[in-house]
Chains A and B, each alone.
Chain A
C-alpha cells in the first residue's frame, strides 16, 4: 500500500467555521490531489499540486484553498464551511503527470457540516 495518511479521519463542524484537512505521504511523489466523493458523482477533483508551493484548481474548487509547503504534506482548507461541503474527502498521489500513471488514494476523511 502507498504510504498515504489523512487526518482527521472524521470531523463534525458547524457552518461558518474554518476546517483544515491534512494529507501526508511517505512516497516522495511530486503530484498530490484532493477529491471529494458524493453519491452519484464519483470522485471530483478539488485542487491538485505539482510541487512545493505549486498548486492549481480542479473541477470543484470554489470554497476551498490548498497549501503545500513540504513535499510530503498537502493541506485542504475550507475557509468557512457550508453544509454543501459535507462529503468524504480523499487525497491521492502520483509520481508523474503521465496519463498512464496510477494515482494512489488515502483512506479518506468524512466531514459533516451542521
Chain B
C-alpha cells in the first residue's frame, strides 16, 4: 500500500538556521506530493506541492523537490524564523483509482530566538 515516512521530531533550531525535514514515500504509479503546515490551534494549510518527478514546489521560502529515484520529497528552508514553529506534514496522493490522500505522522518544528 501507500505510505509516507517523515522524521518524528521535535526539531529544535535557532532562528536563521537551515531547516531540512526528511520525507520518503512508497506508492504505485506517479503520485502528487504535498507539504502541509499546522500552526498551533489551527487546521492544516497547504504549504507547497509537486505533481511530477523533478518538480520543485516552493512557498514562503520553503522548497521541496520531487525525487522519484530516491522516492523523497524533503522540505528545506534556508533561514527559519520563530513564526515557522509549527507541525509539518508530508502527504501523497496517487493518480490511480481510489487515490486517497495519505499523510506522514508529522514533524514538530520549534524555532528559538
A103 surroundings in chain B (CB, below 8 A): 46, 101
Asked whether A107 and B43 contact (CB < 8 A) given A99-B94, A99-B95, A100-B51, the answer is yes
Q: For the complex, count residues of B whose C-beta is within 8 A of A.
A: 25
A44–B4 Cα distance when bound, in Å, is 12
State in angstroms the CA–CA spacing of A44 and B106 once bound together.
Answer: 12
Query: In residues 57-97 of chain A, which contact B (Cβ within 8 Å)?
Result: 58-59, 90, 97
Interface bin, chain A: 20 to 34
**A108 — which chain B residues lie within 8 A by C-beta?**
42-43
Are A105 and B99 in contact (CB-based, < 8 A)? no
Could you tell me if B105 and A44 are in contact, using CB atoms closer than 8 angstroms? no
Additional A-B contacts beyond A40-B8, A42-B104, A103-B46 (9; CB < 8 A): A42-B105, A42-B106, A43-B89, A59-B100, A102-B49, A105-B45, A106-B43, A108-B42, A108-B43
| Chain B interface (Cβ < 8 Å from any Cβ of A) | 4, 8, 31-32, 34, 36, 42-46, 49, 51, 89, 91, 93-95, 99-101, 103-106
